[in-house]
Amino acid sequence: MKRSLLSAGQVAVLVVGVAIVAFVARGESGIQQATLWLVLGLFAVSVSLLWGYAGLLSFGQAAFFGLGAFCYAWATTDTLLAEPLAWNPALIGCLLSILLPVLVALAIGYFLFYGKVVGAYFTIVTLALSFLLGSLGQGWTKVFGGFTGIAGVPTLSIDIGVGTFALRGAWSSYVFAAVVLLLVVALLSRMLATPFGLAVDGVRDNEPRLQYLGMSVVKVKLATFVTSAGIAGLAGALFAAESNYVASDMMGPVLSTEAVIWVAVGGRRSLIGAVLGAVLVRAGGYVLSGIAIDYWMLFLGGLLLALVLLGSTGVVGILQWLLAKVSARKDRGREAAGAA
Amino acid sequence: MGTAQLILMQVLNTGVIIGVLMLVTLGLGVIYGMMDVLNLAHGELLMLGAYSVVVASTMGLGPWEAMIVAPIVVGAIGYGLERGLISRLYRRPLDALLATWALSLIFTQGIRLIFGPAPQSVTAPIQGAVDIVGLPFPKYRLFVLVISVVLTLLVLALFRYPTFGVKTRAVFQNADMARCLGVRAPRMYSGVFAIGGALAGFAGALIAPLVTVEPTMGAVYLVRSFLSVIVGGVGNLAGVAGGSVVIGGAEGVIAYFSSGVFAQVIVLAIAIVIVRVRPQGIFSKR
């Protein structure tokens, strides 16, 4: 329980910090950007769960993110249907955005995990999935809007019986995104602290041992994969509602692998690290976008290479190391004082 | 123009795709089989091969010389990558995968910065067409088909008969035992990476006149050749070549009836099902 409250608290601090920096730097438009970063942070959390905790490196997580975004767009616009859904399109869109990725992940995960697809193979099949969904989206104009995507996706607005819960203005969107992120992080941390969460750790660290203990490794993997697909889908729906636009490259390999970079930068073994990585990389890209976006991508590639070669645990890992150093010094100081 | 002729044309064109795919997949498969490293920058090695042709022809080399330069350049790059980078990561397969992905980002973006995102055009070294049962077929495509099949057979023979090939397969099957018997595995690794790179580079040079040469051209070949490796299984190299035939052929046949992208999606679905039913690949004996 303590661990889960701790990570939610860390994320809360981060969320407030991002808001202050963004508002001071760019005012309202800064807050709008920061909302998207938080949503992408939620997406990064799904990658971190899969990669950092279960040890399954997916290069196709954007497939679920993009599918979620399209579910929201399909429910709320006239792309797929003659007209938007009559009753609560945004709510149904959000629910579908979790359901469809979960079903797709269940189907693919069933074949892959029972087929004993592990390690690099898993990464490749997910990469292929995201790559093909991305190009399918570009070709299939009727469903995915083709090259132009689907514009005019409405902002979140839910009929709750006694009235309408709608997001108006930059701040309310930001707070909403922050609350969803906090809830998901708190729930996930809670889940990871249960025996199931320990089994997820076990899948990463020692699969045979887990089997000796009579646990079904495949089921643990499948559950983790499906959970992370659902989170990615929800993030996609929120992204669509916030940016009012959906395009097929949101399912593609570029976003999939960028998410892996976020998690590598922030620290793969912590949920807060994933959010931090997404915010840092996206904010960096935003600041540099006018000047040198080409060099930024080159820099990201170099950064990833350096992180991998150094075996780095990301920003969070470095912070933990520094904290450990500081506390060790304190202890030594206390010991010295005690001896005297 | 009869149906039979049309089908023959389709078969020949699919044959060209399969031939080039086999060259790319062989390099990828042998690197994966020996070193357990899935080289995500393999598509970019193909792209670098195509760009080597562009550079060589602006430097005044003829198309044939350019075609010889490409595999040498890209082979050298592959050798350098293994020595400088990949060799440090053999104990961490997922990190090796990430590193090769980082490399592919760097190559794509670097080429985009140097040449710009616009496609480059390359002229084929052979012009004109031959008559095949009454229909004109470009001579260059026929050349690509023949040369890639011949080269694939040569590579398969290289890994089968000479001492080098026997040692390679020994490392392939059991690296520790091979090293006990005095095979210098690390040295073989950089050699195999160089061969894989050279094959990808040559494939890039071959297809440069047939497709648009752009920084992102490698991705589609990467995905195709991975599917081929999955379907063929990494147990033996002939299986990998067979996987290319299945993937390239299926794509060609389905694309004939619908769109190319749709064909790729179907092929991916088939590959995922095959992984469940026969994880060891359809051509493995196990």
ipTM, interface predicted TM-score of the complex: 0.80
Determine, yes or no, domain membership for A279.
yes
Determine, yes or no, domain membership for A101.
yes
Q: So what's the pLDDT on residue A293?
A: 67
Determine, yes or no, domain membership for A321.
no
Q: What are A150's strand-pairing partners?
A: A246
Mean pLDDT by 10 residues, chain A (340 residues): 61 76 74 86 92 87 92 82 74 87 92 79 84 82 78 76 72 84 88 85 84 85 93 93 85 86 85 86 78 76 85 76 81 70
With a cut of 90, say whether residue B198 has pLDDT above it.
Answer: yes
Q: So what's the pLDDT on residue A321?
A: 79
CA distance A64 to A252: 10
CA distance A139 to chain B (A): 7
pLDDT band with cut points at 50, 70 and 90 for residue B203: very high
- When pLDDT is averaged across residues B65-86 and rounded to a whole number, the result is 91
Tell me the range of A104-108, B60-64, B267-271 where mean pLDDT is highest. A104-108
Q: Is B268 on the interface with A (CB under 8 A)?
A: yes
> Which residue range forms the structural domain that includes residue A257?
2-292
Whether B95 and A311 lie within 8 Å, measured CB to CB? yes
Copy the structure tokens of residue A245.
């636009």
CA distance A140 to B86: 39
Selecting from B95, B105, B273 the residue whose C-beta is nearest the C-beta of A301 gives B105
Q: Quick one: which H or E segment has residue A92?
A: helix A89-114
Determine, yes or no, domain membership for A303.
no
With a cut of 60, say whether residue B286 has pLDDT above it.
Answer: no
CATH number at residue A188: 1.10.3470
- Structurally, chain A folds into a number of domains equal to 1
Selecting from A55, A125, A305 the residue whose C-beta is nearest the C-beta of B272 gives A125
Whether B279 and A253 lie within 8 Å, measured CB to CB? no
Copy the structure tokens of residue B77.
């790059």
Buried residues in B169-202 as b, exposed as e (16+ CB within 10 A) = bbbbeebeebeeeebebeebbbbbbbbbbbbbbb
Kindly write down the DSSP assignment for every residue of A179-193, as one continuous string. HHHHHHHHHHHHHHT
Average pLDDT of every residue of chain B? 84
Determine, yes or no, domain membership for A35.
yes
Q: What residue of A is the nearest CA neighbor of B37?
A: A120
- When pLDDT is averaged across residues B123-136 and rounded to a whole number, the result is 80
Q: So what's the pLDDT on residue A1?
A: 42
Determine, yes or no, domain membership for A258.
yes
C-beta of residue B216 within 8 angstroms of C-beta of residue B256: no
Q: Is B84 on the interface with A (CB under 8 A)?
A: no
CA distance A75 to A86: 9
Taking one residue from A and the other from B, the number of pairs with CB-CB distance under 8 angstroms is 118
What residue ranges in A89-180 does DSSP mark as E strands? Answer: 150-151, 157-159, 164-166
CA distance B67 to B52: 9
Residue A57 three-state SS: coil
CA A49 to each of CA A12, A129, A245, A340, B167: distance values in angstroms, whole numbers, following the listed order: 19, 19, 27, 48, 41
Q: Do the strands A157-159 and A164-166 form a parallel or antiparallel pair, or are they unpaired?
A: antiparallel
Buried residues in B91-116 as b, exposed as e (16+ CB within 10 A) = eebbbbbbbbbbbbbbbbbbbbeebe
Selecting from B101, B106, B223 the residue whose C-beta is nearest the C-beta of A298 gives B106
Determine, yes or no, domain membership for A325.
no
Determine, yes or no, domain membership for A212.
yes
CA distance A166 to A171: 12
